[in-house]
Structure 1
Amino acid sequence: MRLVLTLSTLLMLLFIPLNAQDFDTQLEKLAEGLSQKISAKGKTKIAVWGFFTENGERTALGNYLTEDFSVYMTNFGDKFEVVDRNHLDVLLKEHQLNAEGYIDESTAKELGKIVAVDVIITGTYTVLNSIVKVRAKALDSETASQFAANMGSLPLNENIASYLGVSVNGGNSTNRGFNTSLNSNETINNPKTVDDDCEKFSTGDFCFSNTMGEKVIIKIVHYPDATYKYRKKQKVMTLAAGESKCFYTLPGRPFLYYLATWKNFTNPDKMKGAESFLSNGGFAKYLKDKGELRVETCKSKTYTIK
């Protein structure tokens, strides 16, 4: 009996960390598969452009995927020379090339000349209920044509769900104060006050609580039509120090958020006071934070600004 219990306990201990690493394990396998296809073509010099949403947005999760994918490609290709996105950003700014979203044909060819690479890796991802679907593509830098690709489904674990601000297995997700569910006794956007038709129209609420000692401005963006990235809907709000406000009756789907201090936003040498600049990649360095949030049907969430 003791032996059985000991083995059971050992199996449980082994299962937990393996399950927690599932997301990274599958991402590593995806990179390994693509590296084999690139090696088969005899190409060795690689630039990792990055992973983006289907709408071409560069996000926190996209950066996470890009950084890890770059490491995996380096590890799997003994003969690979891999240039990561951080180094690319410096080169792109020096040559005044477009650094945001999908890479186009002209940028791909120009990048191939500047960095002297054979292959440019890029991709997209989609966050679903229990997985993150990732598509990785290898482009020939001379022709910008796709010559290899790989696709994988990465299971959401609690760490990644926390990073996204979503819940897995019915649990609450927290990450530096991101998207913490409000308790029923709180007066700010009480979950019981969500719209009566929230189930019918798949809507929920989202709040921002400013615990900083200065005024902030927030912009949220979503795309009603995933096939047309330029048709977007957005909302903007300002919060004084210590103030909390909510966006009500939002569609239950992922949103992008951009947050800047009022001082940076109104400084003409920085954000220039225009709401559109909050989501402009060139002004990202002046943002206090940006990333993704998910509105859940008939639920209320809050993001604590610290």
Structure 2
Amino acid sequence: MKITAALFLLLSLITVPVHCQDFDTELEKLATGLSQKITAKGKTKIAVWGFFTENGERTALGNYLTEDFSVYMTNHGDKFEVIDRNHLDILLKEHQSNAEGYIDENTAKELGKIIAVDVIITGTYTVLNSIVKVRAKALDSETASQFAANMGNLPLNENISSYLGIGLNGGNSTNRGFNSPLSSNETVNNPETVDDACKKSRTGDFCFANNSNQKVIVGIKYFADYDANRVTSMRSKYLILDAKETKCFYGMVSRPFKYYVVNWADFIDKEKLRGIEAYVVHTTYAKHLKDKGELKVETCKSKTYNIK
């Protein structure tokens, strides 16, 4: 009997931390906590507008968070009705409205009237080294005020990292720079021989593996140096990748940066990007992009983003 009890206790100690570190479990906790706050306010009709980057961009990860968050809200909200984003888009089209991106408090009231709901749920997320930081907010559609919020850290696991196309330390790519270009006879630098200078400068490498069958150009907007006490200027860099080719940006500061990918054929098209590199990272030409988003450099390490 004592052995059984001890074994049960041991299994509990082992499984609880794993459970707590699960991406989907933490997202469900976030939804549950917010649903309880909404229920306490007596709200009966909820619209899950969606999750976006801090700059209001709608991405594949944002759609993933939105879909699952909507399901969790439905499962844990016994006293209210949940309208998901797909249905919202249909309602907006019927009213000839095309609201996109992050909904702030000023537009929540007008949106609430169109779709006839009590609460609009929206939020932002940030992809960091090992977590996705998610912030969820509940806006009252009548007063346009934020009356409830919840925030959580969702640990990146193998499945989510794969979904994002991110591989740590090179992932499935043999090109791992570790702050210096590979010499002609190298395929992988030894992480143990990394120059300690990268720790002081807080720099790392980020590679892009073009797994598509088309030539692409990759543009990034990044911070030139690391300074926690002031805002540094943003700069741009570009890579041209043939199909199945991998190249890296070396010595980037450990901060989030934005990436933009466009097919080479569209890049040189005079009706599209006209072969001008600056247009790749310009919001005016976003409709021609193959992919875009935000990634983060990790100090003294190399990451690879897989272009599909």
Q: TM-score range by the shorter chain?
A: 0.7 to 0.9
Partner of residue 27, structure 1: 27
Aligned residues: 295
Gaps of 5+ in 1: none
The one-letter amino acid of 2:35's match is S
Q: 1:16 Cα deviation (Å)?
A: 9.2
Q: What pairs up with 1:86-105 in 2 under 5 angstroms? A: 86-89=86-89, 95-100=96-101, 102-105=102-105
Identity %: 64
Change (3 A) 1:80 1:266: farther
Q: What pairs up with 1:253-268 in 2 under 5 angstroms? A: 253-267=255-269
1:296 counterpart = 2:298? yes
Moved more, 220-229 or 86-95: 220-229
Q: 1:298 Cα deviation (Å)?
A: 2.0
Alignment partners' CA distance in 2, 1:204 and 1:114: 47
Alignment partners' CA distance in 2, 1:272 and 1:107: 36
Partner of residue 78, structure 1: 78
1:182 counterpart = 2:164? no
Alignment partners' CA distance in 1, 2:67 and 2:133: 17
Partner of residue 118, structure 2: 118
In the alignment, is the contact (CA less than 8 A) between 2:220 and 2:281 conserved in 1?
Answer: no
Q: 1:137 Cα deviation (Å)?
A: 1.0
Q: 1:24 Cα deviation (Å)?
A: 1.6
Q: 1:203 Cα deviation (Å)?
A: 0.9
Secondary structure of 2:71's aligned partner: helix
The one-letter amino acid of 1:248's match is Y
Q: 1:251 Cα deviation (Å)?
A: 1.1
Change (3 A) 1:91 1:173: farther
Q: What pairs up with 1:93-172 in 2 under 5 angstroms? A: 95-100=96-101, 102-164=102-164, 165=166, 167=168
Q: 1:138 Cα deviation (Å)?
A: 0.4
1:239 counterpart = 2:233? no
User: What are the Cα deviations for residues 30-53 of structure 1, in whole angstroms up to 9, with x where unaligned?
Assistant: 211211221222222222122233
In the alignment, is the contact (CA less than 8 A) between 1:209 and 1:243 conserved in 2?
Answer: yes
Secondary structure of 1:73's aligned partner: helix
1:66 counterpart = 2:66? yes
The one-letter amino acid of 2:36's match is Q
The one-letter amino acid of 1:220's match is I
In the alignment, is the contact (CA less than 8 A) between 2:170 and 2:176 conserved in 1?
Answer: no
Q: 1:260 Cα deviation (Å)?
A: 2.1
Change (3 A) 1:227 1:115: farther
Alignment partners' CA distance in 2, 1:64 and 1:270: 30
Secondary structure of 2:134's aligned partner: strand
Moved more, 67-76 or 52-61: 52-61
Alignment partners' CA distance in 2, 1:287 and 1:215: 13
Change (3 A) 1:56 1:91: same
In the alignment, is the contact (CA less than 8 A) between 1:206 and 1:295 conserved in 2?
Answer: yes
Change (3 A) 1:194 1:240: farther
The one-letter amino acid of 2:202's match is S
Alignment partners' CA distance in 1, 2:22 and 2:126: 17
In the alignment, is the contact (CA less than 8 A) between 2:259 and 2:293 conserved in 1?
Answer: yes
Alignment partners' CA distance in 1, 2:239 and 2:296: 18
Q: 1:162 Cα deviation (Å)?
A: 4.4
In the alignment, is the contact (CA less than 8 A) between 1:220 and 1:256 conserved in 2?
Answer: yes
In the alignment, is the contact (CA less than 8 A) between 1:253 and 1:294 conserved in 2?
Answer: yes
Q: 1:85 Cα deviation (Å)?
A: 2.6
User: What are the Cα deviations for residues 204-254 of structure 1, in whole angstroms up to 9, with x where unaligned?
Assistant: 12222335443212222346899999x754333332345443222211233
Q: 1:287 Cα deviation (Å)?
A: 3.8
In the alignment, is the contact (CA less than 8 A) between 2:170 and 2:304 conserved in 1?
Answer: no
Change (3 A) 1:280 1:147: same
Change (3 A) 1:260 1:139: same
Q: What pairs up with 1:205-224 in 2 under 5 angstroms? A: 205-222=205-222
In the alignment, is the contact (CA less than 8 A) between 2:205 and 2:250 conserved in 1?
Answer: yes
Change (3 A) 1:240 1:129: closer
